[in-house]
Amino acid sequence: MAVYTEVSDEALAAFLAEYAIGDLVAFRGIAEGVENSNYALRTGAGDFILTLYEKRVEPADLPWFLGLMEHLAGRGVPCPLPVHGRDGAALRTLCGRKAAITTFLPGVWPRRVDIAHCAPLGEALARLHLAGEGYAPRRENALGPASWAALLARAADDADGVRPGLRAELEAALAAILGAWPQGLPTGHIHADLFPDNVFFLERRISGLIDFYFAATDLLAYDLAVCLNAWCFESDYSFNVTKARALLAAYAAVRPLTAAERAALPVLCQGAALRFALTRLYDWINTPPGALVTRKDPLDYVRRLRFNLAAKDAAAYGI
């Protein structure tokens, strides 16, 4: 989450008049994350999140995202529920941006991940994948493997300014990963961005999964690879295989992995690490000055990428 677009009092008042959620009580920007402009909104009806969609989110995709969240929420997944206006529409325009209000989910995301977080995460991810099966529309992953070469090209000229030799390292990794990318694995609707700051806990139980604006129809095990990268590395970039084993075992207890999925884990984890290294590199170079946003270091994911490139098989991840 972040704030790129400022919302005036007058614009907000006109926007809220289109909803039956009571009068405004409080309104503030949320600085975490890098993608959309997000505000915490409190009205007479309770707490909500207002999102203005920026940057990589295609307006044509927004009905798919909102529809997926409604579908998942209706099947027991603890995710935000889009709020419909008086006219029945959930998607509107505010300050020249597409915008929507969703319900607020209580809880706190784990600033420091420990092993006890990982099994609930694995179970929740598997249940999300199963719950998504009834949602018929499909969406290609706009940040999947087909996009990585172009994304690297857009940042390549500035990569060595971030760290000497980074361009060549990423180009070599890209070629190796694309050459080994698996085909024919089980597919479905994935979150694709389930980082710790997108998972809320209350008393060690997951109370919310948020930020579905990278969700897509893709390899289910790729979603696991995103989580292994995001949840199982320590601050010194060592990989915690105990966390990984807990995450994978809890996932498999709900949706067992195929033999092909297990065999593909190293290259899927390589691809997930590369994807976030590339998008963070692009954002590091291109975040506008003065934006209320926390930039994320691309080298964080370059270091994770190196571990994954060295992994010989699924045993590196605890299975």
pLDDT tens readout for residues 267-282: 999 999 999 999 999 9
Residue 278 vs residues 53, 195, 213, 282: alpha-carbon distances, Å: 21, 16, 18, 6
Residue 40: what pLDDT? 95
* Same-domain status, 312 and 200: yes
Helix 166-180 to helix 259-286 angle (10° resolution) is: 150
pLDDT tens readout for residues 287-298: 766 655 667 999
* Same-domain status, 311 and 167: yes
* Same-domain status, 58 and 124: no
Query: Is residue 1 assigned to a domain?
Result: no
* Same-domain status, 298 and 236: yes
CATH number of the domain enclosing 237: 3.90.1200.10
Query: Is residue 2 assigned to a domain?
Result: no
214 near 143, Cβ under 8 Å? yes
The answer, yes or no, to whether residue 34 has pLDDT greater than 80, is no
pTM score: 0.92
* Same-domain status, 219 and 246: yes
The answer, yes or no, to whether residue 227 has pLDDT greater than 70, is yes
* Same-domain status, 72 and 162: no
* Same-domain status, 301 and 264: yes
| Residue 162 structure tokens | 């971030």
d(CA 166, CA 208): 36
Query: Is residue 219 assigned to a domain?
Result: yes
Domain containing 63 equals: 9-103
pLDDT tens readout for residues 80-134: 999 999 999 999 999 999 999 999 999 999 999 999 999 999 999 999 999 999 9
Query: Is residue 109 assigned to a domain?
Result: no
Residue 293 vs residues 1, 248, 283, 287: alpha-carbon distances, Å: 8, 32, 11, 8
Query: Is residue 4 assigned to a domain?
Result: no
Query: Is residue 288 assigned to a domain?
Result: yes
Q: Given the structure tokens 């999947």, which residue do they identify?
A: 144
The total domain count for the chain is 2
* Same-domain status, 26 and 134: no
